[in-house]
Structure 1
Amino acid sequence: MPVAPEAASSRAVHPLATGPSDRPLAVLGSGPVTLATFLAQVRGVAAQLPAGRHAVNLCEDRYRFLVAFCAIALRGQVNLLPSSRAPAVVADVRQRYAQTYCVGDAAPERLPPDCHVLPAELPQLAGPVPQLAEQQLVAIGFTSGSTGVPGANPKTWGSFLTSTAQNLQALQDLWGPAQPSLVATVPPQHMYGMEMSVLLPLLAPATLQAGRPFFPQDVAQALATVPAPRLLVTTPVHLKALVESGVALPPLAGIVTATAPLPQELAAAAEQRFHTEVREVFGSTETCIFARRRTARETAWQLLPGVWLEPQPDGTRIHAPHLATPVLLADLVELLPGDRFVLRGRRADLLEIAGKRASLGDLTRKLQALEGVEDAVVLQLAPEPGHTVGRIAALVVAPQREVAELLQELRMLMDPVFLPRPLRKVEALPRNETGKLPRDALLALLGH
């Protein structure tokens, strides 16, 4: 089993997983899986993986994703984590990197033709607890493309160790001394899903539930299969569906949400409906999680230990223990005492037309608040030839409303220069698995 050169040369090594060998790492349909069984399966799968330098990890089952992730790292290869499993997205990721293959657990017809499919019964090999070098590159995560071309973000094993310790410190008060069970609606390939539902059970005393429930009743059933205390890891889109469905959930230690702004009204409604705290975390594929807040009661964000922000004219520079170098995000912030901050929008969202100013986020919220609107987004198009400012456009899901009526109501809420032209009705917005809206998909619906 070849090992990466950087793994062999680095002096600082750390165990692949933490905790006693009999701790329950995961809950599958067949029952709990101990850490010892998991490590044996990692060694077994690693021995069967193809040669290569990179592996696109397309496993859908969360436990099998984790086994494949660790096996790939144990081989000294790098996990490539695309923002979606769409064939074009996967093909784009593969062509960027030499000596790349795919690993999956779905039916072969749903995977690339040369994909390495994990066997139904995972092989096991005995051996010592695997070790990984602190500086070993274990993953490259890709942004969703919601603001343009997806970007690549390398992650070392050491950075994951540090960020997971920070996340544990930021969330552990939700469940106390007991080992929590994590149920997640987000895919493990997304960095938020990776941090909260893969790395936390691997590197902290927590248990993962292997599925990825989507519909409210599926979420309730998944939560019922795991022991308390239960933590639900989700997104605002899924949380809204849960609240509106009226579904009853088992007692929860907490709900964690990210990937999109959480409206305060929704956070409060979820806390009242499910009798638990909703904790929103803030981060990105580039930075991982670096702040938290209880959105139902707070507007300011609390930085995680060791993190500090440096406002810039075009965004904010993030300094954190798990970041080798500071990362510049497009978010504009106002710093507050006590290591807190409030968001003031994004430079790319700010609009200035005919001397008047607005933000795409605020315009979107106004459109979403209209009666009969189920979902909506406002965006700015690229300038047309001969023009210096792009037009404002919008897509809306409002089956019972007419476009003319919506525009008339918007005239009462915003300056006419910001009225979306065109405003186009669609059956659904092209949200990806985490609820984000890739810009190229929006432009396609608008015919651009």
Structure 2
Amino acid sequence: MSTASPANASDAAYLPWLAGAATRALIWRGGATINMGAFAAQAETVAAALPESTSAIINLCAGRYAFLLAFAAALRAGLPTLLPPTRTHAALAEVRQAWPGALALHEPGTAHEFGGLRLDALGTTPASAAAPRNLPLLDAARVVLVGHTSGSSDAPQPQRKSLRALWASNAANQARLAAELGARFNIVATVPPQHMYGIEMSVLLALLGGGAVADAQPLLPADVAAELHKLPAPRLLVTTPLHLRALLDAGLELSCEAIVSATAPLDAALARAAEVRTGAPLIEVYGATETCVVATRRTAHEKLWTPYPGVSVQPEPDGVRIEAPQLSAPVLLGDLVERAADGRFLLAGRVGDLIEIAGKRASLTDLTRRLLAVPGVEDAVIIQHEDADAGGVRRLAALVVAPGASDTAIMAALRTGFDPAFLPRPLKRVAALPRNALGKLPRAALLELLRG
């Protein structure tokens, strides 16, 4: 069995739901690989056992192997996979209400109070089982994934992805990484597969590309280093700036041939330190749930972003218009960009990130960066109050994790670099910021913490 990647997924009417030869390594699990043929047989078994009334799959599997299996089974059955913005009862209930007949799947050995079925309840197939003789082609226009925006600036919004869109976006990612690693590589990801970044870099690269992904999702620095050491080269580390800083601070050897980072702005000094420590190129990717990845840069060496082939980045008064092979129509993102003559661009902040107080302007991201640079501050964020004060001004507030610094020392440091109009009131100490699994900070959670 072999399924070749289509030459131009953007034009294809029908596409396979897996790619590569049956013998291609797809997942590392328990020190051994599960190849594409055996995995296809497992996915076929799960897909065939899904209840006929199922309209969509709510993938609640936490483990990467289980997530991939549930996702592939949904693909094979022609059902969309739904990724709730959070796992609260309210969020799950909203998704189920929007998709009557949606079935929640979770992994063997677990129970979820939301209901649904475990994968093992749908039948099991040995990892050594013979692969199907032929993999059927599926309607490329069919919606196969519904993700949600992060909620860091407003309410999470659903984003529908067709099979054609997933093939097209993955082809660009695969080509960029192949330039550093070759066509075949092994992946260790510190990010979960339930978000678009995790989907692109640890799910689609395995199912539709040349990557073989480790089942583990290590977070502690020692565990990340150990997982990388287990795999043969070339190895790709998929991570975030938050995780990357913890890895470097731990002082451990990191065996990898390339690193990918996203979900938050990556500091150039951190990127340089990572490349020096590992000897590997660090590629920062730019995109959104709405668009998937559309540009990259070597942050240690350049400020400008290079769009993928076929991607157009056009500044607009209220953001940036993105056109890409995986998009059926242009998408407007709330980022401010400065476009160079050669098509590369500089990110200058977000539309909602710019504030004006007392006739003066500033960027919340830049103010937060300065707060994080204060000695003793381990984590922090500056946000704008929802309500205006007696003078009609929406002042700023700061949430700070700083066991090694006093309020007086922090405020003294800020006064040297902040205009008085932008000094946070209050500066509130917290034990931890409400970061999600990708390190992002949903605004609703920040406001709740500030009020509390």
TM score, norm. by length of structure 1:
0.93
Q: How does 1:304-319 map to 2 (within 5 A)?
A: 304-319=308-323
Residue 156 of structure 1: aligned partner: 162
Letter in 2 for 1:122: T
- Take 1:404 and 1:446, find their aligned partners in 2: how far apart are those partners? 20
Gapped regions of structure 2 (runs ≥ 5): 1-10
- Take 1:11 and 1:195, find their aligned partners in 2: how far apart are those partners? 20
Decide whether the 8 Å contact of 1:84 with 1:433 is kept in 2.
no
Secondary structure, counterpart of 1:182 in structure 2 = strand
Residue 257 of structure 1: aligned partner: 261
Secondary structure, counterpart of 1:16 in structure 2 = coil
Q: Does 1:303 align with 2:307?
A: yes
Decide whether the 8 Å contact of 1:393 with 1:420 is kept in 2.
yes
Cα 1:122–1:218 shift into 2, 3 Å? farther
Residue 32 of structure 1: aligned partner: 33
- Over residues 312-353 of structure 1, what are the superposed CA-to-partner deviations in whole Å (9 max), with x where a residue is unaligned? 111001011110001100000000132200011111011111
Residue 115 of structure 2: aligned partner: 114
Decide whether the 8 Å contact of 2:46 with 2:124 is kept in 1.
yes
CA drift at 1:382: 1.4
Letter in 2 for 1:414: F
- Take 2:124 and 2:198, find their aligned partners in 1: how far apart are those partners? 23
Q: Which of 250, 253, 261 pairs up with 1:248?
A: 253
Q: Which of 239, 243, 247 pairs up with 1:238?
A: 243
- Over residues 26-78 of structure 1, what are the superposed CA-to-partner deviations in whole Å (9 max), with x where a residue is unaligned? 11115111111011011101112233212211112212211111211222221
CA drift at 1:388: 4.4
CA drift at 1:149: 0.7
- Take 1:89 and 1:406, find their aligned partners in 2: how far apart are those partners? 37
Secondary structure, counterpart of 1:289 in structure 2 = strand
Residue 186 of structure 1: aligned partner: 191
Q: How does 1:87-236 map to 2 (within 5 A)?
A: 87-105=89-107, 107-109=109-111, 111-119=112-120, 122-123=124-125, 126=132, 128-177=134-183, 179-236=184-241
- Take 2:389 and 2:136, find their aligned partners in 1: how far apart are those partners? 58
Range moving further from structure 2, 396-405 or 428-437: 396-405
Residue 397 of structure 1: aligned partner: 401
CA drift at 1:226: 1.9
Decide whether the 8 Å contact of 2:28 with 2:213 is kept in 1.
yes
Residue 432 of structure 2: aligned partner: 428
- Take 1:278 and 1:30, find their aligned partners in 2: how far apart are those partners? 26
CA drift at 1:393: 0.8
Letter in 1 for 2:368: T
**Aligned residues: CA RMSD:** 1.9
TM score, norm. by length of structure 2:
0.92
- Take 1:379 and 1:107, find their aligned partners in 2: how far apart are those partners? 41
Letter in 2 for 1:108: T
Q: Which of 82, 98, 103 pairs up with 2:84?
A: 82
Residue 12 of structure 1: aligned partner: 13
Gapped regions of structure 1 (runs ≥ 5): 1-9
Letter in 2 for 1:82: P
Cα 1:411–1:394 shift into 2, 3 Å? same
Letter in 1 for 2:150: S
- Take 2:230 and 2:90, find their aligned partners in 1: how far apart are those partners? 35
Letter in 2 for 1:199: L
Letter in 2 for 1:45: V
Secondary structure, counterpart of 1:108 in structure 2 = coil
Residue 42 of structure 1: aligned partner: 43
Residue 412 of structure 1: aligned partner: 416
Decide whether the 8 Å contact of 1:11 with 1:133 is kept in 2.
no
Q: Which of 371, 394, 414 pairs up with 1:367?
A: 371
- Take 1:302 and 1:406, find their aligned partners in 2: how far apart are those partners? 38
- Take 1:11 and 1:29, find their aligned partners in 2: how far apart are those partners? 37
Decide whether the 8 Å contact of 1:49 with 1:116 is kept in 2.
no
- Over residues 207-229 of structure 1, what are the superposed CA-to-partner deviations in whole Å (9 max), with x where a residue is unaligned? 11111111111111211222210
CA drift at 1:400: 2.0
Decide whether the 8 Å contact of 2:17 with 2:75 is kept in 1.
no
Residue 69 of structure 1: aligned partner: 71
Residue 6 of structure 2: aligned partner: none
Residue 5 of structure 1: aligned partner: none
Cα 1:412–1:106 shift into 2, 3 Å? farther
- Take 2:91 and 2:222, find their aligned partners in 1: how far apart are those partners? 30
Secondary structure, counterpart of 2:187 in structure 1 = strand
